Amino acid sequence: MVRELTHFIGGRHVAGTSGRFGDVFNPTLGEVQARVPFASAEELARAVTAAKAAQADWAAQNPQKRARVLFAFKALVERHMDELARRLSLEHGKTLPDSKGDVMRGLEVVEFACGIPHLLKGEFTEGAGPGIDMFSMRQPLGVVAGITPFNFPAMIPMWMFGVAIACGNAFICKPSEKDPSVPLLLADLLSEAGLPPGVFSVVNGDKVAVDAILQHPDIKAVSFVGSSAIAHYVYAQGTAAGKRVQAMGGAKNHAIILPDADLDQVVDDLIGAGYGSAGERCMAIAVAVPVGEALGNELIRRLKPRVESLKVAPSLDPDANYGPLVTRAHRQKVIDYIAMGEKEGAEIIVDGRGFALQGYENGFFLGGTLFDKVGPGMQSYQDEIFGPVLQVARAANFEEALALPSQHQYGNGVAIYTRDGDAARDFASRVQVGMVGINVPIPVPLAYHSFGGWKRSAFGDVNQHGPEGVRFYTKIKTVTQRWPSKGGAREGSSFVIPTMK
Ligand code: NAD
């Protein structure tokens, strides 16, 4: 029996009315398990009306009261962790522990947002001039929207709405149509935590809903995470319509390995960060760059048996290293990239295409693939594959290794493995990438720092969450005040711009 999912508007679940739906798969079985309604522009407008009606009162609550709702929400998410993770695994395909990590990384942003009374304290200058004080405050934008990708259906909505609603905005979430159930459950938990109806909505849908968000005059800011072509589209359309936009895009993250690195650690990290979540992470390691011929040969020798012995299994199997890919179409896209790599002359060391799991023949599974001798001239190197595929691109020296991620179109994350502090410091300073790991494979900044890549990995100039998130979801107002003081002389009209004398 295929379930029919809903939108969440005005504090309650509502059925879709557009007559358009998308299939939500169980990727382990390869079967449709639910239908998600695709909103029309009218349905989106209804959510905006409800959000607008609720926002002013929400913003008028003192920040401590808003934080208390988030505290209650955090406790509820922890209580429902197993249910959230199970739902997530069954739609996305990632393993249960990885789904819990997805929820936890989002919850860490909610924990950060619980500090909103402190974060919203403005600045004050006493005596900026004679009898003059000056202060600045951060005010919410109003109604804001977030458009999220399939690969972190809990974390990425929480990156956005945790900070947005703490700041006093009303937030409309347009989740990925591939795995929309978790944001709907989060909506229930926010309501249970005491969030007034309308402050958080979920509008499901496809391009029609996204375009309606981009065109609606009452949506003041749009936060987007997804692939680069769409991120660029959202950025261009949203800013042309006068909105504030941050739009995170795709990635191709390199791990540079210098000859003095701890190779056991490197191999463990490449296997985890390359194949975890079937490589469907924007901070996955997609390219390993060993420096020097001998190191390259040794790395391949050690990686090969590890890739061959990866345990690919149903997402609820406790022994799974990773589960199926999200959809049949995405699996096919990854297979096509493997074929392209082979055709372009990369050496295929392990080929995951033949993988099949007895009893799950229709599931979207793919074994791990390992390529050697990949180079910048190859399309399969230039593009994001987003699957369980690790490409080894050998470099002759440090400068050649530094140039690879620096010259790549994407600049999300990068890692360097070395015991040489000077080399690591030099690399971190010069590499043209937004997030750098030193002996750390997935350098995702913690909630109280901010997340964002460079080049085609992010459009707009304000990062996600942390202090940058607070900046994104607020506008600054600066007040200059003078009170008539006893005995103070009036100065009369001045036709000259006031300056500090
Ligand atoms: P996607 O771009 O296909 O979808 C993202 C969102 O855009 C979804 O909500 C989707 O419904 C919407 N969308 C899809 N097609 C659209 C169109 N034509 N017009 C308007 N909206 C459209 O991305 P995905 O496949 O869900 O997610 C994977 C991608 O996200 C990868 O490229 C990955 O690197 C990227 N990602 C980036 C980050 C980051 O922070 N940089 C984080 C996670 C994922």
* Backbone φ/ψ region at 99: left (φ over 0), alpha (ψ -120 to 50), beta: alpha
CATH class of 3-249+457-479: alpha beta
Identify the CA nearest to 26 among candidates 164, 219, 181. Answer: 181
User: Thinking of the domain 253-438, which architecture would CATH place it in?
Assistant: 3-Layer(aba) Sandwich (3.40)
Residue 487 pLDDT > 60:
no
67 pocket-lining for ligand 1 (C-beta < 6 Å): no
Question: Residue 384 C-alpha to ligand 1 middle, in angstroms?
Answer: 12
Question: Residue 231 C-alpha to ligand 1 middle, in angstroms?
Answer: 7
Identify the CA nearest to 101 among candidates 359, 279, 278, 277. Answer: 277
Q: From CA 48, how far away is CA 5, in angstroms rounded?
A: 20
Q: From CA 425, how far away is CA 447, in angstroms rounded?
A: 24
The residues that bridge with 256 in the sheet, in sequence order, are 289, 416
Q: How crowded is residue 363: how many other Cβ atoms within 10 Å of its Cβ?
A: 26
pLDDT at 488: 60
Amino acid in position 468: E
27 pocket-lining for ligand 1 (C-beta < 6 Å): no
Strands, E assignment, 369-412: 369-372, 389-392, 410-411
Buried residues in 335-347 as b, exposed as e (16+ CB within 10 A): bebbebbbeeebe
Express each pLDDT in 125-152 by its tens digit: 999 988 899 999 999 999 999 999 999 9
Question: Residue 483 C-alpha to ligand 1 middle, in angstroms?
Answer: 52
What is the best residue among 176, 202, 330 to mutate for testing ligand 1's pocket, by most ligand atoms within 8 Å of CB?
A: 176
176 pocket-lining for ligand 1 (C-beta < 6 Å): yes
* 448 exposure class (CB count in 10 Å sphere: 0-12, 13-18, 19+): middle
106 pocket-lining for ligand 1 (C-beta < 6 Å): no
Question: Ligand 1 atom 1: the closest Cα is on which residue?
Answer: 226
Strands, E assignment, 115-178: 123-129, 132-140, 143-147, 170-174
Question: Residue 357 C-alpha to ligand 1 middle, in angstroms?
Answer: 29
Tell me if the pTM is above 0.95. Answer: yes
Q: Which atom number of ligand 1 is nearest to the Cα of residue 330?
A: 25
Question: Residue 143 C-alpha to ligand 1 middle, in angstroms?
Answer: 22
210 pocket-lining for ligand 1 (C-beta < 6 Å): yes
CA distances in angstroms from 128 to 120, 136, 485, 490, 492, listed in the order given = 22, 13, 15, 18, 20
Q: Longest C-alpha distance within the chain, in Å?
A: 91
Q: From CA 235, how far away is CA 474, in angstroms rounded?
A: 18
Q: From CA 421, how far away is CA 416, in angstroms rounded?
A: 11
Pairing mode of beta strands 253-257, 413-417: parallel
Question: Residue 225 C-alpha to ligand 1 middle, in angstroms?
Answer: 6
pLDDT at 489: 65
Express each pLDDT in 234-262 by its tens digit: 999 999 999 999 999 999 999 999 999 99
* 128 exposure class (CB count in 10 Å sphere: 0-12, 13-18, 19+): middle
Question: For 98, how many CA atoms within 13 A lie in the half-sphere containing its CB?
Answer: 28
Residues 6 or more apart whose Cβ sits within 8 Å of residue 337: 380, 383, 385, 387, 389
Check 114, 167, 173, 282 and give the catalytic one: 282
pLDDT at 500: 75
CA 437 to chain centre: 18
213 pocket-lining for ligand 1 (C-beta < 6 Å): no
Question: Residue 340 C-alpha to ligand 1 middle, in angstroms?
Answer: 23
Question: Ligand 1 atom 38: the closest Cα is on which residue?
Answer: 282
Residues 64 and 34 sit within 8 Å (Cβ to Cβ):
no
Question: Ligand 1 atom 42: the closest Cα is on which residue?
Answer: 282
205 pocket-lining for ligand 1 (C-beta < 6 Å): no
Query: What does the block give as tokens for 364?
Result: 């979207």
92 pocket-lining for ligand 1 (C-beta < 6 Å): no
What is the best residue among 44, 91, 246, 282 to mutate for testing ligand 1's pocket, by most ligand atoms within 8 Å of CB?
A: 282
Q: How crowded is residue 422: how many other Cβ atoms within 10 Å of its Cβ?
A: 8
230 pocket-lining for ligand 1 (C-beta < 6 Å): yes
Question: Residue 498 C-alpha to ligand 1 middle, in angstroms?
Answer: 49
Question: Residue 444 C-alpha to ligand 1 middle, in angstroms?
Answer: 18
Does 453 or 487 have the greater pLDDT score? 453
Q: Which atom number of ligand 1 is nearest to the Cα of residue 326?
A: 25
* 328 exposure class (CB count in 10 Å sphere: 0-12, 13-18, 19+): middle
Express each pLDDT in 309-366 by its tens digit: 999 999 999 999 999 999 999 999 999 999 999 999 999 999 999 999 999 999 999 9
207 pocket-lining for ligand 1 (C-beta < 6 Å): yes
Express each pLDDT in 438-486 by its tens digit: 999 989 999 999 999 999 999 999 999 999 999 999 999 999 999 877 6
406 pocket-lining for ligand 1 (C-beta < 6 Å): no
Buried residues in 193-213 as b, exposed as e (16+ CB within 10 A): bebbbbbbbbbbbeebbbbbb
pLDDT at 163: 98
SS (H, E, C) 237-254: HHHHCCCEEEEECCCCEE
The answer to whether 282 is a known catalytic residue is: yes
Residues 6 or more apart whose Cβ sits within 8 Å of residue 169: 55, 59, 140, 141, 142, 143, 144, 221, 473
Q: What percent of the chain shows pLDDT beyond 90?
A: 95
pLDDT at 79: 98
Q: Which atom number of ligand 1 is nearest to the Cα of residue 205?
A: 11
133 pocket-lining for ligand 1 (C-beta < 6 Å): no
Residues 6 or more apart whose Cβ sits within 8 Å of residue 209: 38, 39, 41, 43, 44, 174, 203
Express each pLDDT in 12-61 by its tens digit: 999 999 999 999 999 999 999 999 999 999 999 999 999 999 999 999 99
Residues 54 and 47 sit within 8 Å (Cβ to Cβ):
no
The residues that bridge with 171 in the sheet, in sequence order, are 144, 200
Q: From CA 346, how far away is CA 375, in angstroms rounded?
A: 8
225 pocket-lining for ligand 1 (C-beta < 6 Å): yes
Residues 6 or more apart whose Cβ sits within 8 Å of residue 266: 255, 257, 299, 417
Sequence spans of domains, the chain: 3-249+457-479, 253-438
Q: Which atom number of ligand 1 is nearest to the Cα of residue 175?
A: 9
